[in-house]
Amino acid sequence: MAGRSISSGYDGRQDGIRALELPAIEVFENKYADKDYEVELVLPEFNSVCPLTGLPDFGRVVIRYAPGKWCAEMKSLKLYITAYRTLGIFQEHAANKILEDFVAAVAPRRAALEARFNPRGGIETVVRCAWEPKKRSRGA
């Protein structure tokens, strides 16, 4: 039976994830905005809570981005990531929410994220997501 959705007391618990407000990711001016270079941020101690079991999820998050006008400020990024510790969120949603919030704050030229979660029940989850600005069509 493929594509079956979990329908239990957990329905609707992830509905507000995209609108969830977490601590702000602050930025500082990139004095090398004329250069195309990449920054890799490794967050080896990510954790959140499984919304189904209430058990902790542990993982490693790596963000790779090409700064534009702004660079991400590390202390605020750490405070942002720490806010997930008590948050019930599916691993796939966590990875996409982090990237979405990072892009909104930093406005990079491009960004990618890999979240590698510790195995649970014999299954290791790796979520990869990326963002690039949409190209304008010729008629636009």
- Asked if residue 3 is part of any domain, the answer here is no
Parent domain of 66? 27-131
What is the pLDDT averaged over residues 78-96? Answer: 96
Q: What mean pLDDT is reported for the chain?
A: 91
- Asked if residue 19 is part of any domain, the answer here is no
Burial 50-78 (b: 16+ CB within 10 A, else e): ebeeeeebebebbbbbebeebbbbeebbe
By annotation, the residues acting in catalysis are: 50, 57
102 pLDDT more than 90? yes
- Asked if residue 18 is part of any domain, the answer here is no
140 pLDDT more than 90? no
- Asked if residue 49 is part of any domain, the answer here is yes
- Asked if residue 22 is part of any domain, the answer here is no
Quote the pTM value.
0.88
C-alpha distances out from residue 104 to 5, 18, 24, 74, Å: 30, 12, 10, 16
The pLDDT of residue 120 is 87
Show the tokens assigned to 133: 């600005």
- Asked if residue 55 is part of any domain, the answer here is yes
**64-86 confidence digits (pLDDT tens):** 999 999 999 999 999 999 999 99
The pLDDT of residue 10 is 57
The CATH number covering residue 31 comes to 3.30.1130.10
**1-30 confidence digits (pLDDT tens):** 455 555 555 566 678 888 889 999 999 999
- Asked if residue 108 is part of any domain, the answer here is yes
Q: How many domains is the chain built from?
A: 1
Contacts of residue 52, defined as CB under 8 A and 6 or more positions apart, other chains included, come to 6, 10
The pLDDT of residue 13 is 66
Give the confidence band of 137 by pLDDT, cuts at 50, 70, 90: low
- Asked if residue 1 is part of any domain, the answer here is no
Query: What number of residues does the chain have?
Result: 140
Q: List the Cα angle 36/73/48 in 5-degree steps.
A: 110
